Amino acid sequence: MTAIVWFKRDLRAHDHPALTLAAEGPVIPLYIVEPELWTQADASARQWDFIAESLSDLRQALASLGAPLVIRTGDAVDILSRLSRSHRVTRLISHEETGNLWTYARDRRVAAWARDQGLTWTELPQQGVIRRLTSRNAWARQRDAFAQAEPLQAPLLHGPVLEPGPIPTAKGLGLKPDPCPHRQTGGRAAGLLLLDSFLATRGAPYRTAMSSPVTAERACSRLSPHLAWGTLSSREVTQATNLRQAEQPQAPWPQALSSFQSRLAWRDHFIQKLEDQPDIETSCLHRPAENLARTADAARLAAWEAGQTGIPFLDACMRYLRATGWLNFRMRAMVVSCASYHLWLDWRVTGAPLARAFTDYEPGIHWPQVQMQSGTTGINTPRIYNPVKQGQEQDPTGAFTRRWLPELAEVPLPYLQEPWRWEGAGRLLGRRYPEPLVDPSSAARQAKEAIFSLRKTAPRAEIIEIIEKHASRADRRFVNDRAPRRAPPKPQGQLSFDL
């Protein structure tokens, strides 16, 4: 009656429903390193390095519970077949995964194999995302019930003794070199330290400090990679925040903690969108948006990725992201907005390199948000961020911009975000720093005209269908047709990555 517990985006032993269920009998804790997965366009070495550290931490935790982690490299069906035959496995237990289209197809293959073998595959929820959801009407109540349930303690384990297997390196997986000198460290221990410090001290200014990259790096919890790869569960983070709220700390803590709880809920809300419609990764949610005819210009894309567009605050954010693997949400929204509107790049072309840059890449948040910030959902108000204005407001002293763009050191602060207006621009632009690829004001104006022209002709029935399937309560207030019945809701921001 041996069971395999298949670890995926749940690299922990604590609050692990699949592991708790399997602990009733002999168990093989298994992680499968799938080389094909790591050839996908959204995969990177920085992500794998975080996972490898987390696997090492998990292996120690499971060994202390009685059953060390087994790691195998290869195709999931092949590995599961071999282990099932050699150890008389009768059950496969895992958590439901809302991943990319590749993992979706792989899970369908595994399900077919399990049926053919007469083997039971039990998939359990590990967060407030509901598989085969028929309506959003009761979703929030069900999500909250899961989040407020008591987290599970790590169970004692027993099972057959297997060769543990090595944890491959990024180079061993054939991943391209990916320098990320300030990447966050993987593993549950690192996640718990972040959670403790956020709830004890760092989180006090969270609500007001999350918008600027200058202050967000410390004031945000920085838990997003640990939630994305599952070294911590969202439920235990919710419960820890509940305990801090119960202490009734003085201002500004109540507002900060309440805001943090809201963003934990919004995290599940967006993952639910991809769970309900997996092709959000490749197709515009609002189908007429395919007619916007955005470009895949390789030179523009390369300049945007490298932080060489000639628009300082945009470039500073992209360089910061390359060096750290993280960016606060407002700036994530801005870099997507600038790519999709100002540079008029197709969101699929920019979405993949952004996914690779994020250590905390979570498909269920990434793809709906990339579409939302690109104006292709049909149910959210297009928000075209002004990168000059954002730089002036979010980096008022210029410290962030100058740190990541040292070539602008001599530019006076009043011209830092618009160096083309500076009288000394001639000896800088086109030499040490590029000329701007576009004029931010005129590019934004042209993009706005294209987006709103599309929306005026959008079939009302199609928008209602999207709302019924994906919309939050706020989204439902706005039916985007020729004459909206009321003002559209403000765009939802500051989501998972400000956690």
Q: What backbone torsions phi and psi does residue 5 show, to the nearest 5 degrees?
A: -100, 115
Tell whether residue 452 is among the known ligand binding residues.
no
**What beta strand segments (E) does 326-445 contain?**
none
Q: What backbone torsions phi and psi does residue 68 show, to the nearest 5 degrees?
A: -60, 155
433 DSSP assignment: B
Find the farthest-apart pair of alpha carbons in the chain and give their distance in angstroms, rounded: 78
d(CA 285, CA 1): 44
Q: How far is CA 49 from the centre of its chain?
A: 17
Task: Give the pair of three-digit tokens for residue 228.
Answer: 């994305």
To the nearest 10 degrees (0 to 180), the angle between helices 347-357 and 329-337 is 150
Tell whether residue 50 is among the known ligand binding residues.
no
> 312: helix, coil or strand?
helix
In sequence order, what are the residues at sequence separation of 6 or more whose Cβ sits closer than 8 angstroms to the Cβ of residue 492?
266, 372, 380, 472, 474
d(CA 496, CA 327): 11
Block residue for tokens 């929306």: 455
DSSP secondary structure of 236-260: HHHHHHHHHHHT-PPTTHHHHHHHH
Task: Please enumerate, by residue number, every residue annotated as part of a binding site.
Answer: 206, 260
Residue list for the binding site for FAD: 206, 260
